[in-house]
Chains A and B, each alone.
Chain A
Amino acid sequence: MVAEPVTNAEAAVRARGVSRPWRLIAGAFLAGSLLVGLGVGPVGIDVGGIVGSGLAHIPFLHVHNPLSTLDDAVLWQIRAPRVVLAALVGGMLAVAGSSYQGVFRNPLADPYLLGVAAGSGLGATLAIAYGHVGRTGWLLPLAAFVGGLAAVAGTYVLGRSAGPARAARSLVLAGVTVTLFLTAIQTFVQQQHSDTLRDVYAWLLGGFSTATWGQVAVAAPYVAVSSTAIVLHRRLLDVLSVGDEEAASLGVDVPRLRLLLVVAATAGTAAAVAVSGLIAFVGIIVPHTIRLLVSTSYRAVVPLSLVVGAGFLVLADVLARTVVSPAELPIGVVTAFFGAPFFAIVLRTSRSMR
């Protein structure tokens, strides 16, 4: 008699995480995207071929490889690294975007908010203009990575000088300042070395046409560590939604938490930008689509952004390399061209749902 109401009451108290149906839908979306990414191209490979060839590469299993040697090479040396890299970058940008939006309580925050993009752009431009590096090799990603991190470090130092009361806002303003300043330098360098314009633009517009397993190996550790850190902090991102001061009165060390999440999101984003250039829209559109469709709690937004962002960018890359084949579209054009109308549709329909 006495115990029953309490148990009922407890059952009513729950935080919406990712419900089972949404888990399945998101998982199926990612798996489907990967299969489409691996199968679609000048040489079509069906699902049976992909799975059979995958099994054949596992030692001691002795499965017959259904693909020809050439198709097998196309699948594993050209398409697979490209698909995996697109998945890593897409997941990272989306999860970093959701993290920035939570940390700054700003729905328009994207992973480039604090100057990563401008810093990486300048780093890459300097490497191309003065280092005479091509679009392949390890020097360009390194320059972009270092440039991105240095820019955000500069933003942080500049933003901190405004004192703790306006910390979040002054960081954002510092990010704008750093971005404008670095973009000015980058434009100047670019203009002085107009012979390199083509390479710089090709890099800035982003894409995966030069993807290799080596790039995957470079980006994967950063993406793994950064996204794991952000996913583990999803509950604390919800706590931050009541504002710095109330979060502090609930026992959260807000400046430290903000720094930690910014470092995680920035390192991951810089690694993603280094191997893929500047891909806009993913960091805003994916988290917001999840907010509109599933839930606004970061317990859902963060993990689903990771999975859906990965699938979304793989599909965008498929379009980038097939629409005007054999030429390629810059992937940023695809994400914006298809992302914006899709987002508009989600915005309209979700309003009538509630």
Chain B
Amino acid sequence: MIELRELVVRFDGAYAVRDVSLDVAADEWVMLIGPNGAGKTSVLRALCGLVPFAGGAEIGGSDVRRLRRRELARLISFVPQTPVMPPELTVAEYALLGRTPHLGHLAAEGRTDRQAVARALERLDLLAFAERGLGSLSGGELQRVVLARALAQEAPILLLDEPTTSLDLGRQQQVLELVDELRRDGLTVLSTMHDLTLAGQYADRLVLLDRGSIVAEGGPGDVLSAENLSAFYRADVRVVVDDGGVYVVPRRRATVRDGVSAPRMTD
């Protein structure tokens, strides 16, 4: 479904992504993990045609650069990490924006569009909220509303940039369960993820990026090793494996705890 070949993204000469090759099959959920600045978001943005890139990026066999914006938006829906949500729009109005790629330049929404939005709202349990203003919703509800807009777009591929940031633990699980259900209905998902334990539990496959390159790839058991996390995140962790999955637990460094090498504030 998604094919990346030696993808390179550069900003003002600095590499954000260098040489990423990656295939995502239909109905698969692949998660990009890696430390801050590893290039996770840039991969998603390149796929949406939001940043210029070198190398190959194909969706369902067509080159992303050859597709027009509208055509691309019918194939990919993109949920950024912090979406702009105008507080005065209603939930229905906001979700209707997702129909834009299906509408003619100056056309208004028709019956099909309202039905698509109604289905998306129903799917995410938001119908009762249809006429509420976005400004009156909580963080968890807003995250569902953004997903509703993406669903209303009716694209076969969903790109999620850190879908669980700023959600509490329960809401993180709810959102991920939801995405997992949607994926089982035939959606291909490529997302970035900060929380490694949740990443290990929901992804079919993990791709670990560091400084713009893929350094590990595979199932949670292979990628989420203490060695990998120490090498690329510079994190001290314990990795616990049981029948429920892989758990990454941060561990406070002994040196810091004893105050031996902790930085001191001096004049």
Residues of A in contact with B (beta carbons under 8 Å apart): 5-6, 9-10, 12-16, 232-233, 235-236, 238-239, 241-243, 245-253, 296-297
Complex partner residue of A13 from B77, B78, B121, CB under 8 angstroms: B121
Residue of A whose beta carbon sits closest to that of B115 = A10
B117 touching A251 by the CB < 8 A rule? no
**B92 adjacent to A248 (CB under 8 Å):** no
Picked from A232, A250, A252, the residue with its CB within 8 Å of the CB of B106 is A232
Q: A13–B95 contact, CB under 8 A?
A: yes
Nearest CB on A from B13, distance (A): 14
Q: In the bound complex, what is the Cα–Cα distance between A347 and B45 (angstroms)?
A: 40
Which B77-121 residues have a C-beta within 8 angstroms of A? 77-78, 80, 83-86, 88-90, 92-93, 95-98, 100-101, 103, 105-106, 108-109, 111, 114-115, 117-119, 121
CB distance from B207 to the nearest CB of A (A): 22
| CB atoms of B84 and A250 under 8 A apart | no
**CB contact under 8 A between A239 and B100, given known A248-B69, A249-B78, A250-B73:** yes
Write the nearest CB–CB distance from A111 to chain B, whole angstroms: 22
Contact B127 A242 (CB under 8 A): no
Bound-state CA distance A247–B98 (Å) is 10
Distance in angstroms between the alpha carbons of A249 and B146 in the assembled complex: 13
- B143 partner residues in chain A, CB cutoff 8 A: none
- A6, A14, A249 interface centre (most CB from chain B within 10 Å): A249
List residues of B whose CB falls within 8 A of some A CB: 48-50, 69-74, 76-78, 80, 83-86, 88-90, 92-93, 95-98, 100-101, 103, 105-106, 108-109, 111, 114-115, 117-119, 121-122, 127, 130-131, 153
Contact A16 B153 (CB under 8 A): no
B85 touches A242 (CB 8 A): yes
In the complex formed, the residue of B with least CB distance to A257 is B105
CB distance from A288 to the nearest CB of B (A): 13
The residues of A that contact B131 with a CB separation of less than 8 Å are: 12
Cβ of B156 to closest chain A Cβ, rounded Å: 15
Contacts of A236 in B (CB 8 A): 100, 105-106
Closest residue on chain A to residue B153 by CB atoms: A250
A245, B80: Cβ atoms under 8 Å?
Answer: yes
Roughly how many angstroms separate A16 CA and B98 CA in the complex, as a whole number? 16
Once the chains are docked, how many angstroms separate the CA of A297 from the CA of B106? 16
B130 touches A13 (CB 8 A): yes
15 A-B residue pairs with Cβ-Cβ distance under 8 Å, sorted by A, are: A12-B121, A12-B130, A13-B117, A235-B109, A238-B89, A238-B93, A245-B80, A246-B80, A248-B48, A249-B76, A249-B77, A250-B97, A252-B100, A296-B89, A297-B89
Q: Is the CB–CB distance between B101 and A15 below 8 Å?
A: no
Residue of A nearest to B70 (CB): A251
Closest 8 pairs between A and B when the two form their complex, measured CB to CB: A251-B73, A251-B101, A9-B118, A296-B88, A251-B70, A12-B130, A243-B84, A249-B78
CB distance from A2 to the nearest CB of B (A): 13
Q: Residue on B with the closest CB to A291? A: B88
Name the CB-closest residue of B to A247.
B100
Closest Cβ of chain B: how far from A344's Cβ, in Å? 21
B97 near A12 (CB under 8 angstroms)?
Answer: no
Docked complex Cα distance between A243 and B85 (Å): 9
Q: Which residues of A contact B72 (CB under 8 A)?
A: 251
Cβ B100 vs Cβ A251 within 8 A: yes
B114 touching A10 by the CB < 8 A rule?
A: yes
Partner of A250, one of B100, B105, B108, B111: B100
Residues of A within 8 A of B119 (CB): 9
B88 touches A250 (CB 8 A): no
Measured between beta carbons, the chain A residues less than 8 angstroms from B96 are: 13, 15
- Given A9-B121, A16-B90, 11 further pairs, Cβ under 8 A: A10-B114, A14-B114, A15-B96, A232-B106, A233-B106, A235-B109, A241-B86, A246-B80, A251-B69, A253-B69, A297-B89
Pairwise interchain contact A251-B74, C-beta atoms closer than 8 A: yes
- Do B83 and A242 touch (CB < 8 A)? yes
B114 touches A13 (CB 8 A): yes
- Kindly state the separation between the CA atoms of A350 and B200 in the bound complex, as whole angstroms: 50
